[in-house]
Amino acid sequence: MRKIAMADANIKTYHKLIFGDSENMKELPDGSVHLVVTSPPYFNAPFDYPDLFESYEKYLDKMTKVAREIKRVLAKGRIACIVCDDILIDGKKYPIVADLTKIYINEGFIYRDKIIWIKPEGYIRISRRSGVILQHPFPMYFYPDNMQETILIFQNGKFDYKSIPEKAKEQSKIDISEYQTKKWYLNIWNIVNVLPLKNRAENGIAAFPEEIPYRLIKLFSFIGETVLDPFMGSGTTNKVSAMLKRNSVGYEIDLELLEVVKEKMKLKYARILKDYEVEIIIRDDAKYLRTQLQNKVSVKNARKNSKRSL
C-alpha cells in the first residue's frame, strides 16, 4: 500500500499485543512509549457498544483511569492522539469530545491541537437522520447526518528536539510532497472511513482507516520508537506501526478479537522480510464481548425496523 524507504528495510520491530483492560498497563514501564494513537469506545454507541457501560459517569471514570495510565507510560514531551466523537443515544447527545478534552487536561496533558476528520458524504455509516425532515417537513424535526470525527492531540509536557539523534531524524523525514498534496497541513482531514462491507474481518469493530495512524505516526514519532494503542480493536495502529518501522503495544479487552488482530498483523511485506516479531499476552481480565454486543445490535435493529413498519 505504501512505499517504505529501502534504507529502513533492515530495521526489525517488535509488537506486544495484550488482551486485558488498559486501565492497568503494568507491562509498560514509566515513560517507555513515544506516541499514543487510539480510539476509545464511544460510550454505549448503539451500532458498536450497546449497554457496554452502566452509566456515562462510569464511562468517564474508565476513560480517566486509562488517561492516567497513558500519562504514566508516555515519555516526556510526547503526543497522545485520541480519535473520538460525541454520540447520540435515544435522542440525547453525549459530549465525549469535550469531556475527554477536560479529562486529559486534568491528568496534566497540554491540549495541543484538534483535527476534524471528514468522511465522504456517500459513506455515512449510521442511519441518515436528516431524512426525518423529508417525512415531516416542518421546524423542529432537524437532525443532521454526521460525517466527522475529532482527533484530539495532547502533549506530555515540553519536547526536547535535541534529544533525537540525527540519523533517526533523517530516517524519519516527512515526505513533503505527500504532506502538501494530501493536505496534511490543514486541521481538516478528508479521509475515507472503513467501509461496512459484509464478512470483513473488522465486522462489529469501529475500526479507523489506516490513513489516520499512518499520518499521525509519521508526524509524531521516529523510526524504531514505540507506538501504543490502549484500545487496539482490530490492531490498525499496530499494523501501520510495523509498516512504518515503529514498535508497537496494543491493549484490547475483548479476547474475541484475537483472530482478527492476528489476521491484520500478517503484513505481506513484513512477512517476506521477516522483519517484525509479534508477542501475544492474554491476561485474566480479558473478556468475551463481540458476539454479545453484536447480538444486542441485531435485537435493537429488529425492534427499530418493526416500529417503523407499524
Ligand X SMILES: C[S@@+](CC[C@H](N)C(=O)[O-])C[C@H]1O[C@@H](n2cnc3c(N)ncnc32)[C@H](O)[C@@H]1O
Binding positions for ligand X, rule: CB under 6 A: 21-23, 39-41, 62, 202, 205-208, 231, 233-234, 236, 251-254, 257, 289
Nearer to ligand X, 17 or 253 (CB): 253
Helix (H, G, I), strand (E, B) or coil at 162: helix
Nearer to ligand X, 40 or 224 (CB): 40
The whole-angstrom distance between residue 2's C-alpha and the CA centroid of its chain comes to 20
Nearer to ligand X, 110 or 280 (CB): 280
Q: How far is the CB of 61 from ligand X (least distance, A)?
A: 11
Other Cβ atoms within 10 Å of 230 Cβ, number: 29
Q: How far is the CB of 165 from ligand X (least distance, A)?
A: 31
Q: How far is the CB of 244 from ligand X (least distance, A)?
A: 15
Nearer to ligand X, 154 or 231 (CB): 231
Angle 123-95-119 (CA atoms, 0-180°, nearest 5)?
15
Q: How many residues does the chain have?
A: 310
Helix (H, G, I), strand (E, B) or coil at 183: coil
Residue 202's alpha-carbon distances to 83, 198, 206, 257, in angstroms, are 17, 10, 8, 9
Helix (H, G, I), strand (E, B) or coil at 118: strand
Q: How far is the CB of 39 from ligand X (least distance, A)?
A: 4
Q: How far apart are alpha carbons 261 and 15 in whole angstroms?
A: 12
User: Cα-atom radius of gyration of the chain, to the nearest Å?
Assistant: 20
Q: How far is the CB of 147 from ligand X (least distance, A)?
A: 18
Q: How far apart are alpha carbons 112 and 79 in whole angstroms?
A: 9
Q: How far apart are alpha carbons 215 and 181 in whole angstroms?
A: 13
Nearer to ligand X, 212 or 223 (CB): 212
Alpha-helix residue ranges (DSSP H) falling in 182-228 = 211-220
Q: How far is the CB of 166 from ligand X (least distance, A)?
A: 33
Nearer to ligand X, 11 or 255 (CB): 255
200: left (phi over 0), alpha (psi -120 to 50) or beta: beta
Residue with the shortest CB distance to ligand X: 233
Nearer to ligand X, 8 or 85 (CB): 85
Q: How far is the CB of 306 from ligand X (least distance, A)?
A: 29
**Residues 209/193, Cβ–Cβ less than 8 Å:** yes
